[in-house]
Structure 1
Amino acid sequence: MLLAFWMLPPSSPAQADDPLSDEETAAIAAEAYYYAYPMVLMDVTRQIGTNCATPDPANMAAPMNQFANAPAFPDATFTDVVRANADTLYSTLWFDVSQEPLVIHVPDSNGRYYLLPMLDMWSDVFASPGKRTTGDGEQTLAIVGPHWSGDLPQDVEMIRAPTSVGWIIGRTQTNGKADFANVHQFQAGLKAVPLSKWGQDYVPPQGKVDPRVSHDPPVEQVARMDAAEFFGRFLALTKANPPHANDYPVLARMKRIGLEPGKSFDFAAASPEVKAALSKASATCHEKLTSGLVSAGTRVNSWSMVLPPIGTYGTDYYRRALIAYGGLGANVVEDAIYPVAYMDADGQLFDSGAKYVLHFAKDEIPPANAFWSLTMYNDQQAFADNPLDRYALGDRDNLAFADDGSLTLYIQRESPGKDKESNWLPTPKSGGFSMNLRLYWPKPAALDGNWLPPSVTQR
C-alpha cells in the first residue's frame, strides 16, 4: 500500500527551523542521491527501450504497453542493460497504467520454467508471476495503478503496481540456440491489451520516436548528469510515481534541503550550501557505487554472495542503488541468486590475460530447481567478444564431468585445448573481467548458506 506524497504530514517545526550544518546538508544530499538513483536509471532505460514506432526485438525495444520478445541471446554489441544473461530469452514490457489497467495474457508454458517479474519505478519487484509462484498453466493478469478502482473481467487476477509506470522483465528458460523456436512459441502467446480493449480485436498504436534520445548505456548517461539535471529529473518523475509508504523519514530529511517528491525543483534557486552539497553528491556518489559494487555482499571464497535484500529493499536505499547500478532488474532471491566474482582465491582482481579454473566437487555443483550458469562480463559489465560467441556455460551445455562427478571450468582468453573446449569460458581480449553464477529457482541450500561456491584459482 502506498502513501501519496500529498498526504504526508509536514516536518515538525523544530526540524524545519533548525539550521543544518554543512556536514548535515552533505549527508542528506548523498542520501537523496542514492534514494533517487534507481528511479532516474529506470527512466533512462525506459527512454531507450521505448524509443521506437513498433517492437524492435533485436534491440529489446517496444512502445509503451507492448512486449519486445528477444529472438536470440544478446551478443557482445548489446549494452543497453548491464550484466544481461545468456540463459533465457527476454520478454520485456514497459507499462503505463496511469489511464487504465493493462491486461497481460500468459500462455501455458508446458512445464517450461519462466518468470515475469514486475518492477516499479523504484526498481523494487512487486510481483513475480511464473512457474515458481503461479504455475506453468495459462493465466490472465491485470496490472492496475496505485489508486485505481473498478471491476475486472472474470478470471483476471489483479496485480496492483505501486507506481503508474514500471517494467516487466520476462525470462523464459532456453536450452541453447536449438531451443529458440520452442521459446518463440511461448513468447508469441504473451499478449498485452488495455482493459478497455480486452476481448476485442486490438492493434497496438505506433510509438513516437525521439531522435534526441541517446542510446549510450544508461549507467553512463546517469553518471554524466549534473546535480540540476539529476535531481530535477527525479522530482519530475515522482509526480506520477509516488514514494513508498515507509519512505517518510528520508522524505522528511530531503525536504530540509528543498527536495520534495511531487514538486518541481529549481536548482538555481537553491542556497549555495545546498547547491554545493548536491553537486558534490552527484560527482562522488556514483563513484562510490562503482567501488562499492566490488565489495558488496558477503565474500565467500572468490564470490560476493549478494543475498537479501535484493529485488525488494525496504529502506536500504544505498543497497537498492548499488544493485540497480550493478544489474538493474535483479530478481528476488527466491527466483534467482547471482554470486559475483571480481577476484581470484588470492584476492587479486581478474586479469583477462591470466588463466583460471573453477572446480566444483560433486557436492559443490550449484543447487537449482530450474538451472544454473556461469556468465562472463568485461570491465564495462557487458558480454566479452570471443571466437566462440560464448558468454556463459551451465548445466544445459554439453559439459564434460570427471569420473568422480566433479566439474572443472577453464576461464582464459585462449583455448585450453580441444579436449577441454566444452568447459571453456573465454575471457575478454583485454582488461579486467567479472563473472556471475546464476541459480534459477535456487534450492534451500543455496539460500541458507549450506552451499557455497568454490574459489576461482589461477592455473
Structure 2
Amino acid sequence: MTSPVGAAPAQEDLADDAVQAYIYGYPLVLMKTTERSSTNVTAPDSANIRAPINQFAKAADVPGPDQKSVVSPNVDTLYTPAWLDLSAEPVVLHIPDTDGRYYLMPILSAWTNVIDSVGKRTTGTQAGDYAITGPDWDGRLPAGVKEIKSPTNTAWILGRTQLNGPSDLSAVQSLVSKYDVRPLSAYGDKSYKPPQGRVDPNVPSTPPKNVVQQMDAQDFFSALAAAMAANPPARADAPMVAKLARLGIHPGQKVDLDAIPPDTAKALERAVPEGQRQIQAAVANVGKDINGWRVATDLGTYGTNYTLRAATDWQGLGANLPQDAIYPINFVDGTGQQLSGANQYVIHFPPGKTPPANAFWSVTMYNPDGFLVPNSINRYAVGHTAEPTANADGSVDLYVQRDAPAADKKANWLPAPSGQFNVMLRLYWPQQSVIDGTWTPPAITKAQ
C-alpha cells in the first residue's frame, strides 16, 4: 500500500519506512560508535589496537585465545587500523617499500563502502604516498602524492601485513613501524609529532556493537542525524534521505520524539527491535551455501542494498572487496551436521585444487563465540603460517579434530575444542576462479 502524494503515510507504510531507516542507518551509527571507542586514548595502544584520530594503531603481535576484543581474528597478518578525520584537511598515508611482502590497506567510507584499496594487488610493494581527501576539499597536492577521494569526512584504514609465522614477527614489526599517516600540512615535516589524543570518560567501554544495539530510538536516530551532517549520503540514497526527512530525521538535527507526530515516534521506537531482528535474520543469507561453506563474493561495496550492508556489518565490520580477500565460513560438515570436537574431520583438496590465492590462504579454528581455541601446540590456523604437507599424489588433507593425529599427519592438524566450533577459510588476493565460483571449497567430511 502506498499513500497518495502529499498525504500522510499510512500506518503500515510508516512502520516499514521506520524499519528501513534503521537498517539504512545502522552501518553509519556503528562506524561512528566504533570510531569513538577506537580513538579514545591519549597515544597509540598496540595491545588493544587503538590510537587517536589520524594516527595508526599498530598491533605488536597476532591475537591469542585469551584476547576477546575482536570476533574472528586472523593470525595471518598484523593489523594496522587508522581512523581519519578529513574535515579540516586531507590526511597523507605513507607506505614504505615492503620488499615484495603482501600488505593490504583498504580505505572505507563512514558508510562502510571500500573507497579504494592500497596494497600489493593494486599499487605494488614499492614506497608510495596517498592523500585521502574529504568530500569538500579542492586543492593541489605535492608532486608524487596520489589522491584518494573520500565521499565522507570519516574514513577508516583497516591495514593488514602478511606474517609468515612467529619467526617473522620482528621483520613485520620493523616494516609496520614505518607506516605513517599525518595531516597534509605536516607532509615532509621530519620534526612532526602527532598531537596527544583525548580520553572522553563518557565513551562506553563495552563493545561498540553492543552499545548500538542498546540505543533507544531517540539516541539511535539522533546519532544517525548527527553523523550524516559530516558524512553525506550517496546520490543514489536520495529516496531514502527523503524518507528519513518524512520521519523527522534531518542531517545535523537532534531527533526529538516528543516533537514529532505520536504515530511517527511510535514507529521509530518499534523500528529498533524490528530493524535489529531483520538485520540479524539477513546475516544467514549473506553469501551462498557451497558445500556447507557460506561464500560471499559481493561485499565491500553495496550500492543501495542496505540490508546486505547492514547484515555484513552486523557480522563483522570492515568487509573487503572480493578481489582483496574472501572469507568462506563453515559451521557444518558435508551432511549438514554441526561441527563438533566429538568427531574427527578431513578437509580434502584434490591435486592442484588447494585454495587459489595470489597471496596466501589459511583455515582458522574458532569456538562458537568466534574466538581462537586454546590447544596443546598453540596452533590456531593451518595454511601459510603452518604449511601443510601434501600427499604423494599432490592432494592435501587437513585433519580437524580435538586429539593429535598420527605423527606423519601432525603438520596438517588443526586442533579443535571438545565442543562445537566453526572454521574460516581465508583467501588473500583470491584468483578469479574463486570470485566467479569455478573453484569451490570442498565439504568438511567425517574421518572414516
TM-score, normalized by the shorter chain, greater than 0.5: yes
Tell me how far apart the structure 1 counterparts of residues 245 and 396 of structure 2 sit (CA, whole Å). Answer: 55
Equivalences for residues 75-90 of structure 1 within 5 A: 75-90=64-79
Tell me how far apart the structure 2 counterparts of residues 291 and 343 of structure 1 sit (CA, whole Å). Answer: 19
Query: Residue 238 of structure 1 aligns to which amino acid in structure 2?
Result: M
Structure 2 vs 1, CA of residues 383 and 274 (structure 1 numbering), >3 Å: closer, same or farther? farther
Partner of 1:401: 390
Tell me how far apart the structure 2 counterparts of residues 371 and 261 of structure 1 sit (CA, whole Å). Answer: 43
Q: Does the 8 A contact of 2:77 with 2:162 survive in 1?
A: yes
Tell me how far apart the structure 2 counterparts of residues 122 and 130 of structure 1 sit (CA, whole Å). Answer: 22
Q: Does the 8 A contact of 1:66 with 1:94 survive in 2?
A: yes
Tell me how far apart the structure 2 counterparts of residues 426 and 216 of structure 1 sit (CA, whole Å). Answer: 30
Tell me how far apart the structure 2 counterparts of residues 351 and 278 of structure 1 sit (CA, whole Å). Answer: 42
Q: Does the 8 A contact of 1:79 with 1:217 survive in 2?
A: no
Tell me how far apart the structure 1 counterparts of residues 249 and 403 of structure 2 sit (CA, whole Å). Answer: 52
Tell me how far apart the structure 2 counterparts of residues 404 and 458 of structure 1 sit (CA, whole Å). Answer: 21
Structure 2 vs 1, CA of residues 251 and 353 (structure 1 numbering), >3 Å: closer, same or farther? farther
Partner of 1:7: none
**1:429 CA displacement:** 5.2
- Partner of 2:108, secondary structure, is strand
Partner of 1:454: 442
The higher-RCO structure (CA 8 Å, 6+ apart) is: 1
Equivalences for residues 361-380 of structure 1 within 5 A: 361-380=350-369
**1:66 CA displacement:** 0.5
Equivalences for residues 385-424 of structure 1 within 5 A: 385-424=374-413
> Among residues 210, 233, 254, which one is paired with 2:223 in the alignment?
233
Alignment deviations for residues 291-328 of structure 1 (CA, whole Å, 9 cap, x no partner): 432332211111111111x1111110100111111121
Structure 2 vs 1, CA of residues 31 and 387 (structure 1 numbering), >3 Å: closer, same or farther? farther
Alignment deviations for residues 34-71 of structure 1 (CA, whole Å, 9 cap, x no partner): 11111111122212211111110111111110111111
Partner of 1:180: 169
2:330 matches 1:345 = no
2:259 matches 1:269 = yes
2:58 matches 1:59 = no
Q: Does the 8 A contact of 1:80 with 1:216 survive in 2?
A: no
2:306 matches 1:317 = yes
2:442 matches 1:441 = no
Gaps of 5+ in 1: 1-12
Q: Does the 8 A contact of 1:232 with 1:267 survive in 2?
A: no
Tell me how far apart the structure 2 counterparts of residues 266 and 326 of structure 1 sit (CA, whole Å). Answer: 30
Q: Does the 8 A contact of 1:82 with 1:328 survive in 2?
A: no
2:278 matches 1:288 = yes
Q: Does the 8 A contact of 2:186 with 2:192 survive in 1?
A: yes
Structure 2 vs 1, CA of residues 22 and 435 (structure 1 numbering), >3 Å: closer, same or farther? farther
- Partner of 1:289, secondary structure, is helix
How many pairs are equivalent?
444
Tell me how far apart the structure 1 counterparts of residues 122 and 98 of structure 2 sit (CA, whole Å). Answer: 14
Tell me how far apart the structure 1 counterparts of residues 274 and 345 of structure 2 sit (CA, whole Å). Answer: 34
Structure 2 vs 1, CA of residues 86 and 288 (structure 1 numbering), >3 Å: closer, same or farther? farther
Gaps of 5+ in 2: none
**1:82 CA displacement:** 2.8
Tell me how far apart the structure 2 counterparts of residues 244 and 257 of structure 1 sit (CA, whole Å). Answer: 19
Equivalences for residues 24-423 of structure 1 within 5 A: 24-200=13-189, 201-308=191-298, 310-423=299-412
Structure 2 vs 1, CA of residues 281 and 375 (structure 1 numbering), >3 Å: closer, same or farther? farther
Q: Does the 8 A contact of 1:107 with 1:137 survive in 2?
A: yes
**1:425 CA displacement:** 2.1
Structure 2 vs 1, CA of residues 227 and 114 (structure 1 numbering), >3 Å: closer, same or farther? same
Task: Give runs of ≥4 in structure 1 deviating > 6 Å.
Answer: none
Tell me how far apart the structure 2 counterparts of residues 337 and 185 of structure 1 sit (CA, whole Å). Answer: 27
Query: Residue 357 of structure 1 aligns to which amino acid in structure 2?
Result: V
Alignment deviations for residues 224-253 of structure 1 (CA, whole Å, 9 cap, x no partner): 222222221111111111111111111122
- Partner of 1:58, secondary structure, is coil
